[in-house]
């Protein structure tokens, strides 16, 4: 009996089997991990082809069909997220091969792969799920694997940050679960179609509020970001890249879906979310300006970018909600690619120089030029300079805001952009001061695998800007999300 293979099933089961194999055979874990990542990416491309050809596709697991069973569903947006996850994940894995090769990192190597593959299982599961309780279980898979990755280095700082992250994660998930309870009480079903069909009521509002607060906690929107900077700054480089580039996006994605199916009832709430985003941009920017360590600066820039994505969501108020998710999605993709590149580059710089104090970066005797170049390229996309994908995202954000006459969002975005120029140039100017100490030729590190992966990512972040139009067309497949259900 040969099983019928479906790309959606493969996208979830391949990483799961990979995780099991990597856990059982710690010595071959890296090989298993890379092969799994490559195969998963292949499955996702297969799925993308299918979605391009025939629009949104559905698999009713167990043959029951929603609402009794659970359906997997892939449309343009979910495939875009899957592509982001597996492609960025593959490159981060390649970089991890190199950066976890030290003799004292045997333990990290042994556990990195199973945890990362479990994380991938959870994230792919989120992007394909159409059931809110299933989403709860998936975000818990993500949470546990992500905490495991955060504390991989075993330092006290990482453990403290990991514990805070764990508290925030569990609390966020439990708020979400409570929301699921209210949806069940009111609607009697838990699939997305049930959310769309449900009449507005006090219970549904409570459910929406609980789920949104839970997700905001998990995605670290200001002022619920308190756990993020320490957790992302203290993890090892590949883990930071995964956490910052990919993991926070899962909760963001659920947020986008939920607010499409259960529209926010009030203009004030949308403005409030935008205002929190503005707070994140300003506060995160200030903290990034003050950060003393490179990785901490990069982590604060994640807080800023998350804020920006929420501004993109709220940019044109209730009237623009049908369109604004696209700007948010573009920014999500842009940030995912660029931030992974930047964290990997920052990790390389820290490895080569031996520290990541921004103030002393220009005094280092070693010059990891390639990593510095990568960092600069990633900064271009994060600041939002043309032709990067970050630029397109910011542009469509401001375009929508201007069209609706919401000039305050334009102003905040501009301020945020100037601030990001300021804090990134703190780092870049240190890179450019060649004359302080001349690097001895012998100590100049050559080309390494760990440089190639982030460089590819950074170049992609810039290059994708040229493909913005096809990307936009692609994520609209199956839109509006609910129509095909």
Partner 1 sequence: MTDPLVIFDLLLALAIVALAIAALSVRDLYAMIVLFVIFGLLSALAWVRLSAPDVALAEAAIGTGVTGALLLKTLHHLRFASGQRSACMTPAIPVPTGVMLANAAFCGLITLGLAVAFLGAPAAGPGFDALVAGAMPASGVDHPVTGVLLNFRAYDTLMEVVVLLAAVVAVWQIERGLSDAPSPEMGEVWQGFARLALPAIVVVGTYLLWVGAEAPGGAFQGGAVLAAVGLLLLLTRAYVPQPHHRGIARGAFVLGTGVFALVALLVAGGGRVAFEYPLDHAKTLILLIEGMVTISIAVTLAALFHGREPVALRKEVRHDT
Partner 2 sequence: MTPDLIYGVTGIAVFGIGLVGALCAQERLRRVLALKLCSVGAGFLLVVGAWREPPDTPDPVPHALVITGIVVMVSATAVALALIRRLQTLEAEDDA
Please, are residues 145 and 118 in contact by the beta-carbon 8 Å criterion? Answer: yes
- CA–CA distance from 244 to each of 155, 228, 335, 464 (Å)? 19, 9, 9, 19
State the nearest-atom distance from the C-beta of 163 to partner 2, in Å: 5
State the nearest-atom distance from the C-beta of 4 to partner 2, in Å: 27
Report the residue number, 170 or 404, with the smaller CB distance to partner 2. 170
State the nearest-atom distance from the C-beta of 162 to partner 1, in Å: 8
362 binds, among partner 2, partner 1, none (CB under 5 to 8 A by kind): none
Q: Which listed residue (153, 234, 271, 374) binds partner 1 by CB under 8 A?
A: 153
Segment interacting with partner 1 (CB under 8 A) among 108-116, 314-322, 440-448, 467-475: 108-116
Q: Does 23 bind partner 1 (CB under 8 A)?
A: yes
Number of CB atoms found within 10 A of residue 189's CB: 18
Q: Does 262 bind partner 1 (CB under 8 A)?
A: no
Report the residue number, 131 or 451, with the smaller CB distance to partner 1. 131
Q: Distance between CA atoms of 263 and 342, rounded to whole angstroms?
A: 35
Report the residue number, 136 or 406, with the smaller CB distance to partner 2. 136
**Binding positions for partner 2, rule: CB under 8 A:** 68, 133, 136-137, 140, 143-144, 147-148, 151, 154, 156, 159-160, 162-163, 166-167, 169-171, 173-174, 177-178, 180-182, 184-185
- CA–CA distance from 164 to each of 150, 232, 258, 474 (Å)? 11, 12, 26, 38
- Peptide linkage before 113 cis (omega within 30 of 0): no
Helix, strand or coil for residue 291?
Answer: coil
Please name the residue ranges forming H helices in 244-363: 248-261, 267-290, 294-314, 317-353
- Rule CB under 8 A: which of 40-79 touch partner 1? 59-64, 67-70
Q: How many CA atoms lie within 13 A of 76 on its CB side?
A: 21
Q: How large is the C-alpha radius of gyration of the chain? A: 21
Q: Following DSSP, what letter does each residue of 183-252 receive, concatenated?
A: HHHHHS--BHHHHHHPPP-HHHHHHHHHHHHHHHHHHT-TTS-TTHHHHHHHS-HHHHHHIIIIIHHHHH
Segment interacting with partner 1 (CB under 8 A) among 186-194, 341-349, 378-386, 442-450: 186-194
Q: Distance between CA atoms of 371 and 130, rounded to whole angstroms?
A: 40
Q: Does 125 bind partner 1 (CB under 8 A)?
A: yes
Q: Distance between CA atoms of 317 and 314, rounded to whole angstroms?
A: 5
Please, are residues 57 and 49 in contact by the beta-carbon 8 Å criterion? Answer: no
Report the residue number, 26 or 463, with the smaller CB distance to partner 1. 26
61 binds, among partner 2, partner 1, none (CB under 5 to 8 A by kind): partner 1
377 binds, among partner 1, partner 2, none (CB under 5 to 8 A by kind): none
Which spans of this chain sit near partner 1 (rule: CB under 8 A)? 1-6, 9, 13, 16-17, 19-20, 23-24, 59-64, 67-70, 104, 106-108, 111, 114-115, 118, 121-122, 125, 131, 133-134, 137-138, 140-141, 144-145, 147-148, 151-156, 159, 178, 182, 184-189, 201-203, 205-206, 209-210
């Amino acid at each position: 009996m040969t099983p019928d293979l479906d790309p959606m099933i493969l996208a979830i089961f391949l990483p799961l089997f990979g995780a099991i194999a990597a856990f059982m055979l710690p010595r071959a874990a890296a090989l298993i991990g890379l092969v799994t990542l490559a195969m998963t990416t292949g499955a996702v491309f297969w799925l993308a082809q299918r979605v391009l050809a025939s629009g949104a596709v559905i698999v009713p697991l167990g043959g029951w069909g929603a609402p009794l069973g659970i359906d997997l569903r892939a449309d343009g947006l979910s495939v875009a997220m899957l592509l982001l996850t597996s492609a960025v994940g593959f490159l981060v894995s390649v970089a991890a091969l190199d950066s976890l090769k030290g003799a004292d990192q045997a333990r990290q190597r042994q556990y990195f792969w199973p945890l990362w593959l479990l994380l991938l299982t959870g994230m792919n599961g989120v992007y394909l799920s159409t059931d809110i309780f299933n989403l709860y279980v998936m975000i818990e898979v993500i949470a546990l694997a992500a905490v495991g990755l955060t504390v991989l280095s075993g330092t006290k700082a990482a453990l403290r940050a990991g514990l805070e992250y764990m508290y925030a994660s569990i609390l966020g998930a439990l708020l979400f679960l409570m929301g699921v309870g209210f949806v069940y009480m009111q609607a009697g079903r838990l699939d997305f179609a049930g959310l769309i069909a449900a009449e507005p009521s006090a219970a549904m509002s409570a459910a929406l509020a609980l789920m949104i607060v839970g997700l905001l906690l998990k995605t670290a929107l200001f002022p619920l970001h308190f756990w993020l900077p320490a957790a992302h700054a203290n993890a090892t480089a590949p883990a930071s890249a995964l956490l910052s580039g990919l993991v926070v996006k899962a909760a963001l994605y659920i947020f986008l879906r939920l607010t499409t199916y259960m529209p926010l009832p009030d203009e004030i709430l949308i403005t409030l979310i935008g205002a929190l985003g503005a707070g994140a941009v300003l506060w995160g920017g200030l903290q990034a300006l003050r950060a003393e360590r490179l990785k901490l600066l990069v982590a604060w820039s994640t807080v800023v970018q998350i804020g920006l994505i929420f501004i993109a969501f709220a940019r044109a108020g209730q009237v623009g909600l049908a369109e604004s998710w696209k700007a948010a999605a573009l920014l999500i993709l842009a940030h995912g690619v660029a931030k992974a590149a930047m964290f990997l580059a920052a990790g390389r710089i820290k490895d080569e120089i031996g520290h990541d104090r921004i103030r002393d970066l220009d005094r280092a005797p070693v010059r990891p030029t390639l990593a510095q170049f990568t960092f600069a390229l990633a900064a271009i996309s994060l600041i939002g300079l043309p032709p990067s994908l970050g630029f397109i995202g910011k542009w469509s954000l401001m375009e929508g805001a201007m069209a609706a006459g919401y000039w305050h969002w334009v102003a905040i975005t501009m301020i945020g952009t100037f601030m990001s120029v300021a804090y990134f140039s703190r780092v870049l100017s240190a890179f450019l001061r060649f004359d302080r100490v001349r690097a001895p030729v012998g100590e100049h590190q050559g080309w390494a695998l760990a440089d190639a992966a982030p460089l590819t990512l950074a170049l992609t972040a810039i290059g994708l800007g040229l493909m913005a139009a096809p990307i936009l067309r692609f994520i609209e497949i199956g839109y509006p999300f609910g129509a095909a259900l």
